Structure 1
Amino acid sequence: MTMAYLPAATRRSSDLSKHAAEVFAEAEDHPVTVTRRDGESLVLMSQREAEARAGLLNFAAQLITVTLEDGGTLAERMSKPFPWMLALSPADRTTCAHELVDAARASFATDQPHLAIAELTSWQETAVAIAAGLRSVDVDWLDGGDVVARP
């Protein structure tokens, strides 16, 4: 079994003192394990990365709570912690619920928190737009003056 959330890059603590700018630049791209001779290894990551992981864990906690509740469909149970879902049509609530669960599973499986957070944000912003009175309209996609199918 592989451990999720372990940084791919490892640096010695001496690298941090001798080549701080290089190590910091690497940590802006992805978490870096800093090994120490005299203590436990540490992980250096950007604030953005830490917040994304915390957001994913918070989202996961809400999903676990929803799955443990009795009664109602998944969409009905998810509308409690995510009341903005009530702005969606019943069919869209069902689609939203399943897509959020799938995105969370993909995030955990691939160690990519942004997958679930982006899906959650997208659905929430859609619900807000609908609540504000913005409705979908048919759009003709144009390519050189010809109407083409939506990509």
Structure 2
Amino acid sequence: MSVTSAPLVPSSHVVRSSDLSRHSAAVFAAAEDGPVEVTRRDGEALLLVTKREALVHRRVLEVAAQLIAVSLDDDGSLADRLSRQLPWIKLLSPADQEVCARTIIETARGAFVVNEPVRILTEITAWMNTAKAVAAGRGAVDDWLPDAPVVADPRG
């Protein structure tokens, strides 16, 4: 019995292998817009993707492996366990560490359900940038908007 699964990034174009050899420039241009499935009569279909997309796919799998490791660990809070994989979390306040950890896990679950795993990387990057801002002394909103004016609600 074989087990197959859908690719993380579905193919947006399908071409025959003969089209790849006859119209390679057009196929390569299409691959820059998204994955191209190349079908073959004598073998399994191939997927043509950009190197950037392949690297993103690899990074998503690395993050998924880290999150699995966190889920299997039972030593400490969720934030403590996640900080062993993503040490920059410790730059956040204790309350923000917990929010960050929960948000990353919830985003990962949702992103895989809707087949948008890159969203995990976006969430992690946003939190990491927040941690960098905190480390640089930009942790308080008051520092960002001193004496911010109050603006009336435009809806009425």
TM-score normalised by L of structure 1: 0.86
Gapped runs of 5+ residues in structure 2?
Answer: none
Q: Which moved more, 1:92-101 or 1:103-112?
A: 103-112
Q: Kindly state the Cα deviation for residue 114 of structure 1 after the two structures are TM-superposed.
A: 2.3
SS for the counterpart of 2:84 is coil
What CA distance in whole angstroms lies between the structure 2 residues aligned with 1:70 and 1:103?
Answer: 21
Q: How much has 1:148 moved relative to structure 2?
A: 4.6
The alpha carbon displacement at 1:108 in A equals 1.8
Cα 1:31–1:148 shift into 2, 3 Å: farther
User: Is the Cα contact below 8 Å between 1:56 and 1:117 reproduced in 2?
Assistant: yes
Alignment partner, residue 73 of structure 2: 69
1:47 counterpart residue number: 51
Tell me whether 1:16 sits opposite 2:20 in the alignment: yes
Instruction: Write the deviation string for residues 63-105 of structure 1: whole angstroms up to 9, x where unpaired.
Output: 0001101132111111111110001011111111111112222
Deviations 1:23-73 (A, max 9, x none): 112111211110111222110011121111111100000000011011321
Answer whether contact 1:87 1:130 (CA < 8 A) is retained.
Answer: yes
**1:26 and 1:32 in contact (8 A); partners too:** yes
Quickly say closer, same or farther: Cα 1:141–1:3, change in 2 above 3 A: farther
1:148/1:42 CA distance change after superposition, 3 Å:
farther
Tell me the matched-pair count: 146
Relative to structure 1, the CA distance from residue 29 to residue 141 in structure 2 (aligned partners, 3 Å threshold; closer, same or farther) is farther
Give the letter for the 2:78 counterpart: L
Q: Deviations over 1:92-123 (max 9, x none)?
A: 11111111112222332233232111111111
**Counterparts of residues 1-151 of structure 1 (less than 5 Å):** 3-5=6-8, 6-138=10-142, 139=145, 147-148=151-152
Residue ranges of structure 1 left out of the alignment (5+ in a row): none
| Distance change in 2, residues 1:17/1:141 (3 Å) | farther
Distance 2:5 2:124 in 1: 27
